[in-house]
Each structure stands twice: as C-alpha cells, then as structure tokens.
Amino acid sequence: MRGRGRVYRPTSGHTGDKVAVWTLDFTIKDCRCGTCRDGRHRHATKLTVKRDAEDLLEQRRTDYLNGRYNAPPTPKTLRAYVEHHLAAKAKETDRYGQPITHQWLAAVKQHLTRAVEHFGSERLLGSITRADLLMWLSALARRFSGGAATSQLAVESVSARRGGRAHTDEPGDGFTAE
C-alpha cells in the first residue's frame, strides 16, 4: 500500500499497549478540504478488523480525491445499499412532518427487491451503468404498465439521488457514489 496511506493501531498513552481499533493515515496532494495541513489526514475508526479498515481507507481516499469530505461510508453491493436506503427512508417524514407510512415503505421495499432480483444482490454498485439502468427500465415497461412502471421509476430515481451521483454512461453512475 505504499503511497496509498496506512492503517495502524495506535498505542495507548495510559497503558502503552496497542488499542483495539484501527486508525487511518493518508495524504491527499493539493487537498482542499480546509481541515488538514499539507493534505495529511488521520481518522480514528471504530473498526477492529484490519481488512475492514483497509477497505475504509481506500474509500476515504477515493472520497477525498473526488471532493467528498467526511462522507459516511457507502455500501458496496446492491443488497447492502438497499438496506441502507430503506433504513434512511424509514426515518424520513412527509412535508407535514408525519412519518412515512408502513404501506409506502413496503412499496419501496418491493420495488427495490425487484431491482436486486434483476441486477443480483452481490452486484457492485460501481458496476451499474446508465445502460444497465435503461435496460432495467425497458424490462419494467414490458412487465408493468402505466402507474406501476412510473412508481418503480420514481423509487429508482430517489435511490440514485440519495447516492449523490449524476447519471453518465460510465461505470458507477447508477445507485451510489463510490
């Protein structure tokens, strides 16, 4: 990982032993986050598994290189993202401050479950392109008509916006930011 940063377990100042959680240390040349000095970033994690910390390091480096500072980690697979999206949706309220109804959540879950069935639960989000989404929409149009297809399209659109990525023809333009 030379040049990519490092993960390490810091030493406790009290006992002198290594602490259980991993810390990230990486440098971004010409960083514009406004909180670092010379592009160096150190972030404590709550992770106790080194491989998970290494994955988070790569994700944080990518986020900082793309101008997304202190963004929460995004799920990597479609199934994980659907679970993340449904959890966030359950916390939302309508414009009058009322919680989203259970019927609405069930409909959103049904729509996203169809997407998981189409793309596969272990499909990496970064591999879903605009062309894949257009094929998915044409498959929906063949399967449903009228309001059902429109409703499915609306759910997919909100999911893509929550991910924060504009639609292009490049890989990774589907559901979430990487």
> Is pLDDT above 70 for 166?
no
Length of the chain: 178
Instruction: Assess if residue 118 is contained within a domain.
Output: yes
Q: What is the mean pLDDT of residues 117-123?
A: 90
Domain boundary among the residues 65, 86, 106 is at 65
Local confidence band at 71 (pLDDT 50, 70, 90 cut-offs)? low
Q: What is the pLDDT of residue 163?
A: 56
Q: Are 80 and 124 in contact (CB under 8 A)?
A: no
Is the pLDDT assigned to residue 56 strictly greater than 50? yes
Rounded Cα distance between 61 and 29, Å, is: 11
Clarify whether residues 105 and 44 are in a common domain.
no
Residue 155 CA, chain-centre distance (Å), reads 17
Residue 36 in any domain: the answer is yes
Tokens linked to 88: 């966030």
Mean pLDDT of 6-16: 90
Domain span holding position 119: 78-163
Residue 117 lies in a domain: yes
Q: DSSP letters along 78-104, please?
A: HHHHHHHHHHHHHH-B-TTSPBPPHHH
User: Quick check: is 111 in a domain?
Assistant: yes
Domain count, the chain: 2
pLDDT band (50, 70, 90) for residue 155: low
With a CB cutoff of 8 Å and minimum separation 6, the contacts of 52 are 22
Higher pLDDT, 64 or 1: 64
Cα 77 from chain centroid? 9
Quick check: is 168 in a domain?
Answer: no
* 30 and 88 share one domain: no
Q: Is residue 174 part of a domain?
A: no
User: Which one is predicted more confidently, 155 or 135?
Assistant: 135
User: Where a domain ends, among 24, 44, 65?
Assistant: 65
Please report, for the domain that includes residue 113, its CATH number.
1.10.150
Residues 60, 94, single domain; the answer is no
**Higher per-residue confidence, 93 vs 41:** 41
Please tell me the predicted confidence (pLDDT) of residue 150. 63
91 lies in some domain: yes
Same domain for 23 and 48?
yes
Q: Say if residue 57 is in the same domain as residue 127.
A: no
User: Per residue, what are the HEC states of 112-168?
Assistant: HHHHHHHHCCCCEHHHCCHHHHHHHHHHHHHHCCCHHHHHHHHHHHHHHHHHCCCCC
Highest mean pLDDT among 29-33, 70-74, 147-151, 167-171: 29-33
